[in-house]
Each structure stands twice: as C-alpha cells, then as structure tokens.
A and B are shown apart, each in its own frame.
Chain A
Amino acid sequence: GAVVSQHPSWVICKSGTSVKIECRSLDFQATTMFWYRQFPKQSLMLMATSNEGSKATYEQGVEKDKFLINHASLTLSTLTVTSAHPEDSSFYICSATVGAGEVNEQFFGPGTRLTVL
C-alpha cells in the first residue's frame, strides 16, 4: 500500500517559537495532501487542503498566516506552526491522495504530536 511519513513524530517547543512538520508520500506522487488536527478524544479536524504548486485552501477558522503550508513537490508538503502557543498543542496528521476530482482513499501519515510549553 501507499506509505506516507511524517517528521518529526514528537516535538516539544517553547511558546513563541515556530515548528515545521514534514509530510512525505514515499512510494507514490500525491496530487493532494491534507492537514488535520486532532485534540484528545475528538475527531479529525481538517485544517487545509494543498495541491502541488498552488496555494493551500484553508478551512474556516484556520489562520493561514499562523499555519503556513508549502506543497513544493508531489511528494512533500510542510506545515509550519508559527509563533506556537500552548493552545496549539495537538496531534497533527497529514494525508495524501492520488488523483483529483474522484473518490480516492486517503493515506495517512503517522502523525506528529506537538506540545507547546
């Protein structure tokens, strides 16, 4: 099956610093990548959808200047949490699909647990 990796798996940072999370599709080219956030005991919340070479589409309520997404290639997307605060502590998960405008299974990365002190 298709494999998606994320790096880092865990990150602890001080309030006010920025954190970059990488999402890579290892054995396929991902047309679209999604970034989710999941708080404890809650479901996945879609933050943004990104297509290679174009600007990400952010969900309502997600600050695009705070959560910077770069999708520079068909195998790599990055999420940068700028000026992180304790309330940004969460489980961040990316997923990737192949193809566009049709039903596709989303392949999930293992997630990144961010703790902001």
Chain B
Amino acid sequence: GQNIDQPTEMTATEGAIVQINCTYQTSGFNGLFWYQQHAGEAPTFLSYNVLDGLEEKGRFSSFLSRSKGYSYLLLKELQMKDSASYLCAGLDSNYQLIWGAGTKLIIKP
C-alpha cells in the first residue's frame, strides 16, 4: 500500500532551526511536495523535490533521498508565524498526491 509517515507534532523555539522528517512508500514516484497549512486555511505550496539532494528557498529547505524513501523540511530562523501544520505529500506513478497526516509545529517564544 501507499503510505506517508511524519511526526504528529513538534515544538521549537523562536529563532531556532527545526527539521521535519517524512518517509514515504508510493506506487512509483514522481516527486515529493511540502505544504504549509495554517489552522482553518487551505494548504500553501512550499517545495517540490524529485531529484536527490537539498533544495534551498530562503528560510526553508527541503531534502530528498529516493533510495531511502525519505525527505525532510528544514526551517531556519523560526518565526512565530511559522506555527502551522506541515504536510508531506508524495506523487505516485499516476501523478496522484498521497498525503501525510501533517506535522503540527508549535513555536514558543
């Protein structure tokens, strides 16, 4: 079956760095997405990885290892507004997104 695993909740301090991990099992693989979702709002796109390695975009970076079925989202210089759920989603061979349950990130002052 297809599955996306990520931690349910994480806590970090303002100004610090946090890494949110995601492991995936999909039927075929056409890339991995990270989305940010604030409570009561729709998800917003953060990143897309299809090749191994690290993609950096400002304070956010995303890493992919296809051989390990593993990705992480790295958030630097955390701000209070980064408190949100972060959704990992894999794109399978049918180009369908398989969603994780999301990681709720709590930022403390």
Contacts and interface: CB of A to CB of B under 8 A. Distances in A.
Contact of A111 (B30, B33, B41): B41
B42 A108 contact: yes
Interface stretch (A38-46, A60-68, A78-86): A38-46
B42 A46 contact: no
Contacts of B100: 43
B73 to A, nearest CB: 15
Interface stretch (A12-20, A69-77, A99-107): A99-107
Tell me the dominant secondary structure on chain A's binding face.
loop
B31 interface: yes
Contact of A103 (B30, B40, B42, B45): B30
Interface of B: 30-31, 33, 40-45, 48, 50, 87, 91, 95-97, 99-102
Given A103-B50, A109-B42, A110-B42, 14 more contacts: A43-B87, A43-B100, A44-B43, A44-B99, A49-B96, A93-B42, A103-B30, A103-B31, A103-B48, A103-B91, A105-B48, A106-B45, A107-B45, A113-B40
